[in-house]
Amino acid sequence: AAATSTGIDIATTATYGATQGPRLETAAEINKMENDGCHIVGMTGMPEASIARELGLCYAVIAVSVNYAAGRADGPIEMREIESNLTAGMGAVRAILSETLGETPAAC
């Protein structure tokens, strides 16, 4: 609700493919995950989500996509590109958190 009320685009349904970091995925890994039905690939979303579900806890992720399909770009992904995307995305994260902290959830 917080992201919607701030006008920020969000993905409400997607399949997350978890990889082992800290490293960027190869093109082959991205291709396999896409073939497996994954929409988003990352190294920081698990195991927290599955543990929260097992414990019956309310859980949500706010993630900033900092590189798109690592391994598929024309050249290497530069750290400055990642940092620039992260900086740009953090404004949205702050807006969502500010809105969320002002809400009282009924049941998460």
What per-residue confidence (pLDDT) applies to 72?
78
pLDDT at position 55 is 96
Residue with structure tokens 């992720």?
A: 61
- 104, pLDDT greater than 60: no
Q: How far apart are CA 90 and CA 100, in angstroms?
A: 15
The answer to whether 3 and 96 have CB atoms below 8 angstroms apart is: yes
Domain 2-101 fold: Rossmann fold (3.40.50)
Question: What are the structural domain ranges in the chain?
Answer: 2-101
Whether the CB-CB separation of 16 and 38 falls below 8 Å is answered with yes
pTM of the shown model: 0.69
Q: How confident is the model over 16-48, as pLDDT tens digits? A: 899 988 888 888 999 999 999 999 888 887 889
CA distance 63 to 56: 22
Rg (CA), the chain: 16
